[in-house]
Amino acid sequence: MCELLGMSANVPTDICFSFAGLLERGGRTGPHKDGWGITFYEGKGCRSFKDPLPSCESEIAKLVKSYPIKSKSVISHIRQANRGGISLENTHPFIREMWGRHWTYAHNGQLSKYKRALKTNMHLPVGNTDSELAFCWILDKVKEKYPQRPKNMLSVFRYIASLAKQLKSFGVFNMLLSDGVYVLAFCTSKLHWITRRAPFGKATLIDSDWIIDFQKETTPNDIVTVVATEPLTQDETWNKMESGSFVLFKEGELVVQT
Amino acid sequence: MCELLGMSANVPTDICFSFAGLLERGGRTGPHKDGWGITFYEGKGCRSFKDPLPSCESEIAKLVKSYPIKSKSVISHIRQANRGGISLENTHPFIREMWGRHWTYAHNGQLSKYKRALKTNMHLPVGNTDSELAFCWILDKVKEKYPQRPKNMLSVFRYIASLAKQLKSFGVFNMLLSDGVYVLAFCTSKLHWITRRAPFGKATLIDSDWIIDFQKETTPNDIVTVVATEPLTQDETWNKMESGSFVLFKEGELVVQT
């Protein structure tokens, strides 16, 4: 199994604190030693850092941990390989352009007997993971239903969640997906989220002894939501997602929940 | 104008030396202060580093300069903005998936009166540069002509070069493009290349005082080609490309030249 981390915020926010917690699980406090990746949106643009090396040893991960890249939407993943070898092309997040936006996706879980059902045409996987194939299948289905970008993006994300529910029938499918504006989380087995807003308090990472005082790092109007496979802090209450449910965030706020 | 840098090699090779020369031109010895980017292929996978900051000030550029990522195909670009604002989404290289491979592209030059002619459908630009639109137009044309990946990739690159020639009629169009296996360079105004192989010698960067002894960095079978807007070294003979010509490299070797 892998671990997922996502963020949605109403102001560009750095994710160093949460990312540091996740990285510890990449070979030190957790078994996810088969690569890691993170995508930050900045406006319509995005940048990714990826490595097939364990995150706790990666030079690039050290840079990302120490260099506060500020973003309103982030998707991150650390990998414990099951389907597909350990290589850069099999490292999440995966990105494709659709309707003139970059779409970013990461998956935790494992699918079985899916190859015949998940045929794709417009979007083809580069690597050989079940995860990337499922992403290409989702995009093909969305593009078939909506050849042009519709005005109502909520209906698009509801449709994507219904596709995720179909993928769940092939196994474990926990997913984070973003177009840079919205962040969608779909749960099969394990996902948690928390929204932080004023009055901000302190929090301690579970995986290291880093304590943060969010009040010192924020302004009173900041709204920041973090989604993670397991809670990252020990002194806050995280929302546990039900199997088959999804949550959709925009600017840090929950906009759809099932 | 911007500057381009590309590499094709038969063994994974680091580009630190050449990239260091290029970065100096990003705001110090050159005026290209509006961002930079570099894409490294590792097998079918690739990773990009990008920044809308001047390369000579960028923390991420420092990492790339000092951390020897080894690759057989590299595309890099430093930007002096003309069309399109300074932002991450307008920063080269641009990447799209086609036929289950990542295609990477960077452009130097400026096009005029192109918008009506360059309509795209399958691949849409995310930013608002002439460069990204031209890339999307090329991919649309290629995908129209070859819905599936053909066996003969040389014919694909010859077709891409013919499209580049059409783009040249709209202004200055110097281009680097790669699918990870081949590196194509098309010249309108300024591009140079050099192939280094045994017996290797020494070289000195034009833009800094870094001297490298390639013999110490290579094995006798290494073949490494570097393509750049302007020669990067002062004690080697670079091949100057003619306007309208292209060169195609694979594993460091020149495979097509016009």
- pLDDT tens-digit map of A13-67: 988 888 888 887 766 676 777 889 999 999 999 999 998 888 777 888 888 877 7
Distance, in angstroms, between B46 CA and closest chain A CA?
7
Averaged pLDDT score across all residues of chain A = 92
* B2 has catalytic annotation: yes
3-state secondary structure chain B: CCEEEEEEEEEEEECHHHHHHHHHCECCCCECCCCEEEEEEECCEEEEEEECCCHHHCHHHHHHHHCCCEEEEEEEEECCCCCCCCCHHHCCCEEEEECCEEEEEEEEEEECCCCCCCCCCCCCCCCCCHHHHHHHHHHHHHHHHCCCCCCCHHHHHHHHHHHHHHHHCCEEEEEEEECCCEEEEECCCCCEEEEECCCCCEEEECCCCCEEEHHHHCCCCCCEEEEECCCCECCCCCEECCCCCEEEEECCEEEEEC
Would you say residue B10 has pLDDT above 90?
yes
Nearest to B67 among A47, A59, A101 (CB): A59
Would you say residue B58 has pLDDT above 90?
no
B48 lies within 8 A of chain A by CB:
yes
Nearest to B88 among A47, A51, A87 (CB): A47
Mean pLDDT calculated for residue range A80-84 = 78
Tens digits of per-residue pLDDT, A208-244? 888 889 888 889 999 999 999 999 998 899 999 999 9
| Range of lowest pLDDT (A202-211, B124-133, B158-167) | A202-211
- When pLDDT is cut at 50, 70 and 90, the band that residue B162 belongs to is very high
Cβ contacts of residue B220 below 8 Å, gap of 6+? B198
Specify the pLDDT at position A18: 87
Mean pLDDT calculated for residue range A156-178 = 98
Domains of chain A: 3-257 (3.60.20.10)
Specify the pLDDT at position A26: 65
Tell me which residues of A are annotated as active site: 2
β-pair partners for A182: A250
Tens digits of per-residue pLDDT, A126-135? 999 999 999 9
CB contact under 8 A, B45 and A126: yes
CB contact under 8 A, A126 and B97: yes
Tens digits of per-residue pLDDT, B217-256? 889 999 999 999 999 998 899 999 999 999 999 999 999 9
Specify the pLDDT at position B124: 97
> What percent of chain B stands above pLDDT 70?
97
Distance, in angstroms, between A175 CA and closest chain B CA?
21
- When pLDDT is cut at 50, 70 and 90, the band that residue B15 belongs to is confident
Mean pLDDT calculated for residue range A100-124 = 95
Helix (H) or strand (E) holding A70: strand A70-78
Secondary structure (DSSP) of A197-251: -SSP-EEEBSSS--EEEHHHH--TT--EEEEESS-SBSSS-PEEPPTT-EEEEET
Tens digits of per-residue pLDDT, B66-90? 778 899 999 999 888 777 888 999 9
CB contact under 8 A, A46 and B88: yes
CB contact under 8 A, A43 and B100: no
Mean pLDDT calculated for residue range B131-155 = 97
Nearest to B42 among A48, A67, A88 (CB): A88
CB contact under 8 A, B43 and A124: no
Mean pLDDT calculated for residue range A150-179 = 97
The answer to whether the beta carbons of residues A188 and A243 sit under 8 Å apart is yes
- Report the residue of B38, B88, B131, B136 to disrupt the A interface, i.e. the one with the largest count of A CBs within 10 Å: B88
Report B:52-91 residues touching A (Cβ under 8 A): 52, 59-60, 63, 67, 87-91
Mean pLDDT calculated for residue range B154-158 = 98
Closest CA to A106 of A41, A153, A61, A39: A39
Mean pLDDT calculated for residue range B33-62 = 88
3-state secondary structure of A101: strand
Rounded-to-integer distance, Cα A91 and Cα B64, Å = 19
